[in-house]
Amino acid sequence: MHDAEGEVREHYAAVHSRLTSLSAEALAERQKTLERSFLLQGVTFTVYGAESATERIIPTDLVPRIIPAAEWRTIEAGLTQRLQALNMFLADVYGDQRILMDGVVPRELVLGAPSYRREMRRLYVPHKAYANVCGSDLIRGQDGRFAVLEDNLRVPSGVSYMLANRDAAKRTFPGVFQSSNVRPIERYPDLLLATLKSMAADWRPNPQVVVLTPGVYNSAYYEHAYLARLMGAPLVEGRDLVAYENMIYMRTTTGLRRVDVIYRRVDDDFIDPLAFRRDSNLGVAGLFNAYRAGNVVICNAPGTGVADDKAVYAYVPDIIRYYLGEEPILPNIETFLCREPAQLSHVLANLDTLVVKAVGASGGYGMLVGPHASAAEREAFAEAVRADPANYIAQPTIQLSTAPCLIDGRLEPRHVDLRPFILSGEKIVVTPGALTRVALRRGSLVVNSSQGGGSKDTWVLADGDAPEVRP
Amino acid sequence: MMLARVADSLYWMGRYIERAEHVARLADIMLTATLDRAVDAGRTQEIAVAAAGETPPAPGALPMQAARRLVFDRSSAGGVLSSLARARENARQVRDQITTETWERLNLLYLKVTGETAVDLFDMGASAFLHDVIADLHLFRGAADATMSHGEGFRFLMLGVYLERANLIAQLLEVCFGDGRGARSSDHVAEMNLLRMACALEPYLRRYTAEIEPRLILEFLLFDEEFPRSIRFATARIEENLGGISRLARGGGLTAPDRLAGRLKARLEFADMEELRAMDASALLTDVVADCARIHDAVHDAYVAYSLETRLPA
């Protein structure tokens, strides 16, 4: 909110003056009203405890984060470029494998990744759109530039919180919102539906789209139901679907009804017990065969995980150059691959300054934050890295930028990251907004909701007459 | 057309909502009755507990304990809290199919009865607490009626409500008039309480004046065409909603549930009060309960758990 000289940045002026005009009590009251409304609406995620799963609201901060139009143009162009290249990469590694033959990305890194699905080889994916919904995590570095921390191409969550936060922000600060020229994000559900429909076979007019959820006990169930409701698509569970003669049907009160596109919010491993994990009862036996036969579309495509593998991440700038012949617009974070002996010894020698992550893990699990770890913890982690170097990468400890948050009625800086949502079907569309995740504990860098993080609304400003992008 | 599982959830949601309201009312009437003479209190307590399908309380048990059990005991399947929890769980399953207005009413009520202060609030003023629960359930019904599309989903919801209602009122009457009790002349206050348990006191008084007679109560709660808690009214709605469902889902033609509902409706429409008085009401009430169970099974077979072989696409 403030620049280096302590002056309020121009695009924050209106919000700043509104916030400072309210008493601490008034702010706290608004915060409480907001939380009550989230609880009432059921905007919750599920926390798994020892005894039972309980529903909690994601702690939400009232103070919006504001991104000026020019800055957003860079983000939008950078993300579009990145997803375009990643989709081409996926089409290639499941197709001719040119990039592997040309030695740009090591063959064993891709083909040996647990997220690589041999079953996807030589399979036609419409528009080469593998990652139909992508939620990349961006951070702003010390130099003020945004960089990509991680690409989430499997089943990224959070878009419902982005929309719920916007709804709340409008009700909490209607005046400031109205005068701020914020770009609307409310079209996300219909853009998502259009994207999903664009993936259906041409010869199926008015395709039937469904949202596949693991069920009410999944931590993101609220989001699944929310998107289904706003798209007007049935929210189905595995038990509602059946495969029959290589086609997928849902059980309705009128009998079986054909399904064309499945927006699945279930991981690859669980979508089809015949093709993948046998012990899964979340999926549909025979789904993968129906998919291979071209009778149903699965979004995101199975096997996209290989492109957001933490080791493949290090090669994304090269991937962009290789397919598009362009320089990456958004930089990567410097990344050391422990599979390379020279980089491994660098990592082991500098554990106290690095963040080390297991390649396959997510959600803030399986990582070591060097500067915050004890010597014993670092030694134990070093042991694990030495035992299986290929499974680890390391990055410098990044000082996430901060944004002002309302903490006990006062404004305090907290570390944040940014998760914009990108849709890719016939076209690539970046929603002009994002989920800003906040590390609510003072000094903490962990923004994951499963680890005590919260979120806030993100205002992307329009400059004058910015046209809305349509798919 | 809707998912079979969704139809099932909406139906159960309706049943649990109706049950929560009924049991909340039983508990309230029971507690208020105990403020009066002890003999009636005992009888009213017996009726309430039995009508809720619970085991009779131990002799000497305080009405407050019995009421707390009816409301908060999660292990009792028919309790208010467990019914609300199940209704809400079903609502969560079909969150994409019900409106935000409808969901919020139910969620708010659920948060209220499961909140940390709920039991204290109940202990401080049970009657006010239960009154609020019932009023909130009416708001839920109102929100559903006013905001949901009155299509297949709404009909499954209402089918659940009325099937449960027919069942509950039949059970209540059975407790009071079964086993040849119909002939027994009974206490005026206990009869008023019976009418209150069916939410029927005021409509009854308008129809029959303050002459409260067991025969007239039975007639009113079994056969009245216009009173929403009479069994006849409920069975007419069951038939109507099933008819709507089969028109929407199957494009017309009578289904097994339709036929069963039609027969139950006719049984009540053409029953003769004089004849009924000569025997006793027990047989009819038992038939009503059994018919409700048959309709429930038939609905499940026709719309939810049908075998796939019979419904393969052409």
Percent of chain A with pLDDT over 90: 53
pTM reported for the whole predicted model: 0.91
Among B6, B107, B313, the residue with its CB nearest the CB of A249 is B313
pLDDT tens across A370-380, in order? 888 888 888 88
> Does B108 contact chain A (CB < 8 Å)?
yes
**CA-based nearest residue in chain A for residue B310:** A255
> Does B100 contact chain A (CB < 8 Å)?
yes
> Does A256 contact chain B (CB < 8 Å)?
yes
Using alpha carbons, list the distances in angstroms from residue A233 to A155, A211, A255, B80.
Answer: 18, 7, 18, 33
Using alpha carbons only, give the angle A174, A177, A179 rounded to the nearest 5 degrees. Answer: 110
Q: pLDDT band for position A425 (50/70/90)?
A: very high
Q: Which helix (H) or strand (E) holds A62?
A: strand A60-67
Cβ contacts of B104 on chain A, cutoff 8 Å: 40-41
User: Between chain A and chain B, how many beta carbons pairs sit less than 8 Å apart?
Assistant: 78
Range of the domain at B99: 4-310
Token pair belonging to A135:
């939620």
Using alpha carbons only, give the angle B49, B50, B51 rounded to the nearest 5 degrees. Answer: 95
Amino acid identity of residue B211, one-letter, is E
Interface probe for B, chosen from A249, A253, A262 (most Cβ of B below 10 Å), is: A253
B3–A42 C-beta distance less than 8 A: no
Q: Please say whether the beta carbons of B245 and B237 come within 8 A.
A: no
Eight-state DSSP code of residue A301? P
Q: Please say whether the beta carbons of B302 and B256 come within 8 A.
A: yes
Residue A467 has pLDDT above 50, yes or no: no
In this predicted complex, what is the ipTM? 0.87
* 3 state SS of A203: coil
pLDDT tens across B54-74, in order? 877 777 778 888 899 999 988
Q: Please say whether the beta carbons of A65 and A459 come within 8 A.
A: yes
Q: What is the pLDDT of residue B26?
A: 95
User: Taking residues A212-219, what's their average pLDDT?
Assistant: 91
Cβ contacts of B308 on chain A, cutoff 8 Å: 242, 244, 251, 256
A242–B2 C-beta distance less than 8 A: no
**How far off is chain B from A255, nearest CA to CA, in Å?**
5
Among A41, A216, A254, the residue with its CB nearest the CB of B249 is A254
Cα distance between residue B98 and residue B100, in whole Å: 7
pLDDT tens across A434-445, in order? 999 998 888 777
Among B7, B95, B245, the residue with its CB nearest the CB of A229 is B95
B5–A41 C-beta distance less than 8 A: no
Token pair belonging to B252:
């017309």
Amino acid identity of residue B140, one-letter, is F
Q: What is the pLDDT of residue A49?
A: 57
A67 φ/ψ angles, rounded to the nearest 5 degrees: -120, 120
Give the list of residues 6+ apart from residue B297 with CB closer than 8 angstroms, or none. Answer: none
A237–B313 C-beta distance less than 8 A: no
Count the domains in chain B. Answer: 1
Which residues of chain A from 175 to 234 reach within 8 Å of chain B, CB to CB?
A: 211, 216, 221-222, 225-226, 228-229, 234
Eight-state DSSP code of residue A461? B
DSSP labels, B167-236? HHHHHHHHHHHTTTGGG----HHHHHHHHHHTT-HHHHHHHHTT---HHHHHHHHHH-SS-TTSHHHHHH
**How far off is chain B from A30, nearest CA to CA, in Å?**
19
> Does B101 contact chain A (CB < 8 Å)?
no
> Does B58 contact chain A (CB < 8 Å)?
no
Residue A468 has pLDDT above 70, yes or no: no
Among A222, A228, A240, the residue with its CB nearest the CB of B5 is A240
pLDDT tens across A274-321, in order? 888 777 778 899 999 999 999 999 999 999 999 998 889 999 999 999
User: Taking residues B230-239, what's their average pLDDT?
Assistant: 96
Residue B250 has pLDDT above 80, yes or no: no
Cβ contacts of B304 on chain A, cutoff 8 Å: 253
**How far off is chain A from B55, nearest CA to CA, in Å?**
29
Summary mean pLDDT of chain A? 89
Cα distance between residue B154 and residue B160, in whole Å: 10
Q: What is the pLDDT of residue B183?
A: 44
Q: What is the pLDDT of residue B180?
A: 57
Q: Which helix (H) or strand (E) holds A299?
A: strand A297-299
**How far off is chain A from B3, nearest CA to CA, in Å?**
4
Q: What is the pLDDT of residue A53?
A: 57
Cross-strand pairs, A403 = A414
Cβ contacts of A234 on chain B, cutoff 8 Å: 2-3, 6, 96
Among A228, A229, A251, the residue with its CB nearest the CB of B4 is A251
**How far off is chain A from B83, nearest CA to CA, in Å?**
18
User: Taking residues B185-211, what's their average pLDDT?
Assistant: 87
Q: Which helix (H) or strand (E) holds A81?
A: helix A69-93
Strands (E), A346-409: 354-358, 367-369, 392-396, 402-407
**How far off is chain A from B89, nearest CA to CA, in Å?**
8
pLDDT tens across A131-148, in order? 999 999 999 977 889 999
pLDDT tens across A45-57, in order? 776 654 555 777 8
**How far off is chain B from A239, nearest CA to CA, in Å?**
9
A256–B4 C-beta distance less than 8 A: no
Using alpha carbons only, give the angle B307, B310, B314 rounded to the nearest 5 degrees. Answer: 135
**How far off is chain B from A258, nearest CA to CA, in Å?**
9
A42–B92 C-beta distance less than 8 A: yes
Weakest-pLDDT range from A47-56, A263-272, A323-332, A383-392: A47-56
Using alpha carbons only, give the angle A276, A207, B311 rounded to the nearest 5 degrees. Answer: 70
